[in-house]
C-alpha cells in the first residue's frame, strides 16, 4: 500500500533531523554531478555544470547520468568523465541502488552535487560516503545531503536557475551560466557534408514534431498537433523561402510522415539519421529550429540555434530553454499545479488551450527579424 503524502513528509522530517548537515568545500578535487534523466533536464543542467567548472577550474568533474541522456552531453568540454547512473533511474530497485552506490564509492569523490529531487537519490549519495553532499531539498527529500538547498515546489522558477542555486551554495556566492552544448567541429563537418549531398542550401528550417518520450515518461500531450505543425511550417517556409528538414527518432517516423503529407513546402525527412551532436550542429546552422517542449528543443537552443519552443501543458516560467536566444510560444492558460506533472495529468486540448497557428507565425517572423 503506498505511503500517504503526510507520512512521507514525517519520515523525511525525521531523517533530516537525524543526518548531519555540516559541510565544507574549500577546494574539491573530484566532483560528481548527479542529474541522470531526462534529456531536457540534463541539457538545462549544463548551466550548473559550467558554473561548477568556473568555480573549480582544476577539479575533475564526473557526470552521473543514464545512458539514454549521456549521449546528449558526453562531449561537453566541462566534463572529464561519465559515470553510468543506470537505465532504471531514479533507483527503483535495491539492485540498482547498490550498483549506483558502489560506483559512487569507487570514484573516490570528495564532493557530490545532486540536481535531483528524489529521496532515493538523496539516500544513495548519503550511502556513498562522499564527504560533502550538496543537493536539492524539496519537501524534506534532501535528507541525505549535508549542504541542503531548500526548494519550494510551488514556486514558478526555471529548472536551470534552481540547479544553479546548488552551485551557488557550494561556491559561497551567486553564480550564473546559461545552458550550453558547444558544437563539435566533427559534428558540424558531418552535417554540412550531409546537407551538400542532399543539395540543401541555406536558408533552411529544422523542425521536430515529436518528442515528449523518455525512458519511463511519455507525454504525448506536449506535441503540437500534426496538422497545425504542418500549416505553421508551410507559412514560415513561404515567408522565408526556406526548405524544411523534418527530424525524428526511429520511433517517430509515422508522425513525421503525417506532417510531411500535409506540407506544400519543399521538405526532407531525416528520421534516425543524426546523433545528438549532429542535431545540435544542424540546428545551429538553420534559419530557425522549431520543436515542442522536449529535450531536443532544449538541445538545439543550447547548441546556439535560434530555437522556437511550442509550449502547451507546461509552464514556460519553469521549462522554457535557458539560453539568451530563443522564443517560447505559449498561450497563457491555467495549468495543473506542480512541475513536470503538469503535462502528465492535464486535460489538455490544443485547439482550445494552445497557441494558434496565426499567433505562432506572427511571433516567429517577428523573432527572425530582430
Pairing verdict, β 132-138 and 111-114: parallel
Output the pLDDT for position 221. 84
Distance between CA atoms of residues 217 and 344, nearest Å: 9
Q: Which residue has the cell 543539395?
A: 199
Is residue 178 within 8 A of residue 324, CB to CB? The reply is: yes
Low-confidence stretches of the chain (pLDDT < 70) are: 1-25, 88-90, 212-219, 336-346
Strands (E), the chain: 30-34, 60-65, 81-84, 111-114, 132-138, 147-151, 204-208, 213-214, 217-218, 243-248, 267-271, 288-292, 307-310, 326-329
pTM for the model stands at 0.91
Distance between CA atoms of residues 338 and 318, nearest Å: 10
Output the pLDDT for position 1. 39
Is residue 288 within 8 A of residue 232, CB to CB? The reply is: no
Amino acid at each position: 500500500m503506498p505511503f500517504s503524502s503526510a507520512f512521507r513528509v514525517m519520515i523525511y522530517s525525521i531523517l533530516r533531523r537525524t543526518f548531519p548537515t555540516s559541510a565544507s568545500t574549500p577546494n574539491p578535487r573530484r566532483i560528481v554531478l548527479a542529474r541522470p534523466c531526462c534529456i531536457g533536464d540534463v541539457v538545462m543542467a549544463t548551466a550548473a555544470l559550467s558554473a561548477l567548472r568556473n568555480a573549480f577550474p582544476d577539479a575533475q568533474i564526473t557526470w552521473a547520468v543514464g545512458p539514454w541522456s549521456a549521449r546528449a552531453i558526453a562531449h561537453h568540454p566541462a566534463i572529464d568523465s561519465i559515470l553510468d547512473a543506470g537505465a532504471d533511474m531514479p533507483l527503483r530497485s535495491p539492485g540498482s541502488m547498490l550498483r549506483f552506490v558502489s560506483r559512487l564509492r569507487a570514484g573516490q569523490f570528495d564532493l557530490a552535487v545532486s540536481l535531483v529531487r528524489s529521496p532515493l537519490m538523496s539516500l544513495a549519495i548519503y550511502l556513498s560516503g562522499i564527504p560533502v553532499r550538496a543537493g536539492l531539498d524539496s519537501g524534506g527529500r534532501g535528507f541525505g545531503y549535508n549542504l541542503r538547498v531548500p526548494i519550494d515546489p510551488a514556486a514558478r522558477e526555471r529548472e536551470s536557475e534552481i540547479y544553479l542555486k546548488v552551485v551557488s551554495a557550494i561556491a559561497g556566492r551567486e553564480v550564473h551560466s546559461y545552458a550550453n552544448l558547444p558544437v563539435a567541429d566533427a559534428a558540424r563537418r558531418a552535417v554540412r557534408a550531409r546537407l551538400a549531398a542532399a543539395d540543401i542550401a541555406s536558408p533552411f528550417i529544422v523542425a521536430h514534431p515529436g518528442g515528449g518520450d523518455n525512458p519511463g515518461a511519455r507525454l504525448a500531450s506536449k506535441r503540437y498537433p500534426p496538422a497545425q505543425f504542418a500549416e505553421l511550417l508551410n507559412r514560415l517556409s513561404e515567408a522565408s523561402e526556406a526548405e524544411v528538414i523534418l527530424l525524428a527518432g526511429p520511433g517517430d517516423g509515422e508522425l513525421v510522415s503525417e506532417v510531411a503529407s500535409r506540407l506544400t513546402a519543399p521538405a526532407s525527412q531525416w528520421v534516425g539519421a543524426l546523433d545528438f551532436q549532429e542535431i545540435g550542429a544542424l540546428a545551429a546552422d538553420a534559419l530557425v529550429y522549431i520543436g515542442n517542449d522536449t529535450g531536443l528543443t532544449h538541445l538545439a537552443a543550447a547548441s546556439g540555434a535560434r530555437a522556437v519552443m511550442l509550449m502547451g501543458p507546461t509552464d514556460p516560467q519553469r521549462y522554457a530553454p535557458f539560453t539568451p536566444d530563443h522564443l517560447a510560444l505559449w498561450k497563457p492558460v491555467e495549468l495543473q499545479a506542480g512541475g513536470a506533472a503538469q503535462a502528465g495529468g492535464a486535460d489538455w486540448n490544443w485547439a482550445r488551450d494552445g497557441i494558434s497557428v496565426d499567433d505562432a507565425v506572427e511571433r516567429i517572423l517577428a523573432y527572425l527579424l530582430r
